[in-house]
Amino acid sequence: MAAIDDLPPLREVIETHGLRAKKTLGQNFLLDLNLTARIARAAGDLAGSDILEIGPGPGGLTRGLLAEGARRVLAIEKDARCMPALEEIAARYPGRLQVIEGDALEIDPLTHLTPPIRVAANLPYNVGTELLVRWLTPKEWPPFWESLTLMFQREVAERIVAAPGSKAYGRLAILAQWRASARIVLDLPPQAFVPAPKVSSAVVHLTALPAPRFPADPAVLSRVVAAGFNQRRKMLRASLKGVAPGIEDHLAAAGIPPTERAEQVGLEAWCALARSVAAAQ
């Protein structure tokens, strides 16, 4: 394995600092620095960007991001045991790595970052989807980030890029594809991690669009889609009956047959339905 810097191999770092992965923190450490460098490269040209990383652990991806030329990396880590290892990386890259100990769900990173900003992370399994939804549903668009390069369980990655009619298609696909371009850029087997998870993983790259693909009120779209997929086996006229009076009229206005099921409706039609419901409020 080719070295990406002159720091010790990750396996040695983990042994030195006693960093046994904790299941309660959703940790699975990726030790192959060639793979972490590939993930960093998948995030695009990093030279002029600040990078937000969540859950760096022993710092494998952190090192990849810095070695690939990131202007600056802000790493948020909840596990205090990882701080000494991350401090060693910060010393190797003076002025380019800031580490904050804390919960990424509670910390506002924007006070520490300068645009343009990219997000790149091997997200802890237990908070990954929640963070993604937050990043996809800000109050204002375009968001603070230009791109997201994120590792998920393969099942979650497939839900992000899913097309209508597929089993994986749902609310997450609509939220992701409404205002971003999303694609899977790398697959990783369980053996790539320590400890090896029971499922495969995948890296998804999302690029923020300057504006949504189709007009819709974000809150209304989110409410309509959530109701539709909450009872995805039902026909939409049944699953959406509590969303707005005269739901069949709204479905007709959007060109959606009332007997259609949620997974059969494309993004443009969902947006048209949200506009019709919003106009009646």
pLDDT, one tens digit per residue, over 118-162 is 999 998 878 899 999 999 999 999 999 999 999 999 999 999 999
3-state secondary structure of 63: helix
Query: Full-prediction pTM beyond 0.85?
Result: yes
pLDDT, one tens digit per residue, over 31-88 is 899 999 999 999 999 999 999 999 999 999 999 999 999 999 999 999 999 999 999 9
As to burial, measured by CB atoms within 10 angstroms (0-12 exposed, 13-18 middle, 19+ buried), residue 39 is buried
Would residue 63 be called left, alpha or beta, if left means φ above 0 and alpha means ψ between -120 and 50 degrees? alpha
